[in-house]
Amino acid sequence: MLLQRFLIRLLTMAITLFGVAVVVFVVIRVAPGDPIAMMLPPGATDTDIARLRALYGLDKTIVEQFFIWLSGVVRGDFGTSISLRQDVLGLVFNRLPATLELAIVALLMALAIGGTTAILGARERGTAVEAGIDIASGAALSIPDFLWGLVLILLFGVLVPIFDISGRVSPQLDLPFVTQFYLFESIARLRFDLTKDLLGHMLMPAVALALPLAAIISQLLKQSLKEVLDLDYVVLARVKGFSETQVILREALKNAALPTLTLVGVQFTFLIGGTVIVERLFSYEGLGNMAIDAVINRDLPLIQGIVLVFALLFVLINLTVDMMYALLNPRLRHG
């Protein structure tokens, strides 16, 4: 039964990814802009253009191109980037860790800020503290991540320049890393000087990405907590002698977190989408930044590779959320 559910789930994931691949493949070929025209100098002859077109297989029909590409993908070959002349998979895997680190740090920030303010607001419900939290989260939510990025650059990069606003790591540093997960590896190697430098670069883009999500988490979790705090088992816990904070943490939080968890999953995919622009703003060398370059250069194989990896990421996040939901909710586990 469980295996069957898992297999069905795996099949849906494959179908989703295939759909994404088809749509992206067609759209970027139908959209205006010719990669070949951008590669050749002005005055190239028609024969040159045709030769290059044939070299990249662009003279075939879209259907033919798709199946040639797909048969490569199945074998792990995503093609060669037109603009960078390198293996697409290698390029993507080189950049993906930077984006993952940024997204994970932003998510942790959002959970910490959103969770703390939600618990505080629920404990101090009906007071000025709750009103203050509502105003702050309203403000954080009404400004999108890229605008937060600009605001932060202006505040802490220009007016009070205390943070680095560009890149992933200070260029003069010697990096001993063997993986692309610089932040995680610096912690694992106990090179906290490097951790500090990496976090210094990551802080502002991460905050920009985290703030809107933190506000959503705060509002939704606080609302669920307030509803749960009126329930009988919470009243019973108060009669037992537990303080309001203990009641929230021990009795209410787990049950109130369920609706929030579903939303965090969806919102986390939006956050990853937001990395594309935010990475650009902060010249952060991640996958999103590379995606923009790929689009500007009409680098078809690279765009396809990046989008497919993003899609895979989103599907995996949804799967994780579903699994965590079952883990947190005993009624689902046995059902």
- Please report how close the Cβ of residue 254 comes to other proteins at its closest, in angstroms: 5
Complex with other proteins: residue 85 or 334, whichever CB lies closer: 334
Q: Does 334 bind other proteins (CB under 8 A)?
A: yes
- Rounded CA-CA distance 319/267 in Å is 14
Distance CA 60, CA 144 (A): 42
Exactly one of 10, 108, 235, 326 binds other proteins (CB under 8 A); that residue is 235
Out of 12, 86, 243, 283, name the contact with other proteins by CB under 8 A.
Answer: 243
Q: Does residue 67 belong to the site contacting other proteins (CB under 8 A)?
A: no
Nearer to other proteins, 27 or 235 (CB): 235
Choose between 127 and 142: whose C-beta lies nearer to other proteins. Answer: 127
Radius of gyration over every alpha carbon of the chain, rounded to an integer in angstroms: 24
Contact call for residue 129 and other proteins (CB under 8 A): no
Q: Which residue in 238, 249, 262, 285 binds other proteins (CB under 8 A)? A: 238
Contact with other proteins (CB under 8 A) among 231, 316, 323, 326: 231
* Phi, psi for 56 (deg, rounded to 5): -90, 5
Token pair recorded at residue 12: 């849906």
Distance in angstroms (rounded) separating the CA atoms of residues 187 and 30? 46
Alpha carbon distance 286, 203 (integer Å): 15
Query: H or E segment at 216?
Result: helix 192-228
Give Cα 135 to chain centroid, integer Å: 26
CB of 325 to other proteins, least distance (A): 12
Note whether 262 binds other proteins by CB under 8 A.
no
Q: Which of 17, 84, 104, 328 binds other proteins (CB under 8 A)?
A: 328
Contact 261, 324 (CB under 8 A): yes
* 250 near other proteins (CB under 8 A): yes
Q: For other proteins, which residue of 11, 33, 254, 326 counts as binding (CB under 8 A)?
A: 254
87: three-class secondary structure by DSSP: strand
What residue type is assigned to position 204 of the chain?
Answer: M
CB closer to other proteins out of 93 and 242: 242
| Residues near other proteins (CB under 8 A), total | 25
- Yes or no: say if 302 and 84 are a contact pair by the CB < 8 Å rule: yes
Check residue 251 for interaction with other proteins (CB under 8 A): yes
DSSP for residue 155: I
Q: CA-CA distance, 296 to 299, in Å (whole number)?
A: 8
252 vs 302, which CB is nearer to other proteins?
A: 252
Scanning 3-11, 107-115, 162-170, 245-253 for contacts with other proteins by CB under 8 A, the matching segment is 245-253
Rounded to whole angstroms, the Cα distance separating 155 from 226 reads: 35
d(CA 262, CA 220): 11
The span of 18-26, 49-57, 142-150, 242-250 binding other proteins (CB under 8 A) equals 242-250
Closer to other proteins at the Cβ: 196 or 333? 333
Enumerate binding residues for other proteins (CB under 8 A). Answer: 125-126, 230-233, 235-243, 246, 250-251, 254-255, 328-331, 334
